[in-house]
Structure 1
């Protein structure tokens, strides 16, 4: 009998505690993420990883491709900006389109040579270039112990930029 009373009191308490909570409808939060991992077995053969900006952060986006994409090719795709679908998902680029003429070389660390001073670009833009080049070299099986690349301007100014994404 005592157990029955305790259970009844517990059930009544649970019902009273739930009072005042109003049900809500579905709250729209926008489209689900479509960003795919850029490392491990999830990287599809024939895919290229580009780094775009979303909500102020540099993030990886894997695009399908018909075959091997060189680091230079990956950077040229990056310079074209996000696709219509990627832009609709809020992705953008801070890399100016006039950056053309980029040179890339692997090494430990590798380097990216720009046709002007990297100081004319935002940190996010430089980071997009570095992360995209590193991802392309990784896809080729070329890895460096350095977490980034040297950025070189025409006047020889050089500085190191690590890939900071996510």
Structure 2
């Protein structure tokens, strides 16, 4: 029957070691979604963990940059190296305070989106529900922003299409 499909009978071949790294049955996984830039726009890259990832851990992972595999897919970050740490704190359900060691005007819009939406996605898989209050050095107020479904940050007071 197989010969009729153009498949000839062969003996087993060596293909390497068996698959490894599988989780034990019943182990729950959590995805952190880090927002990188690709040649076609913003793209979330998943990273799987066995425990939940909060906004700070997601930001720390993001700031380390894309993995080698992600780089091969053309993913990169627009966020420049910063002398001090970016801090992301979940202060209540659906709200994150994001402390930047620089001013927003020194960052490209895409870099702001990457930071804001990575922190928002870590708090809720539907990042559009999360308010991110951006706090910058030497500025007492906040920049209140939200993320659209594609990962673009926009002022929370604005009506997004």
> So what's the TM-score if we normalise by structure 2?
0.64
Q: Which residue is equivalent to 1:153? A: 136
Counterpart among 29, 34, 51 of residue 50 in structure 1: 34
**Greater Rg over alpha carbons, structure:** 1
Q: How far does the alpha carbon of each residue in 1:96-133 deviate from its partner, in whole angstroms, 9 at most, with x for none?
A: 23264122223454321111111111111110111111
- Pairing partner for 1:72 from 56, 64, 73: 56
Q: Indicate the residue corresponding to 1:37 in structure 2.
A: none
Offset at 1:146? Answer: 5.1
Gaps of at least 5 residues in structure 1 are 1-43
Correspondence for 2:146:
162
1:94-105 to 2 correspondences below 5 Å: 94-98=78-82, 100-105=84-89
Q: Secondary structure at the match of 1:97?
A: coil
Alpha-carbon distance change, 83 to 100 in structure 1, aligned in 2, over 3 angstroms:
farther
> Is 1:109–1:144's contact at 8 Å kept on the other side of the alignment?
no
Structure (1 or 2) with the greater strand fraction? 2
Two-structure CA RMSD over aligned residues (Å): 2.5
C-alpha distance in structure 2 between counterparts of 1:148 and 1:134, whole Å? 7
Distance 2:47 2:95 in 1: 26
Please say if 1:114 is aligned against 2:100.
yes
Distance 1:116 1:89, change over 3 A: same
TM-score for the superposition, normalised by structure 1: 0.62
Question: Which shows bigger deviation, 83-92 or 61-70?
Answer: 61-70
Number of residue pairs aligned between Structure 1 and Structure 2: 120
Q: Normalized per residue, which structure has more helix?
A: 1
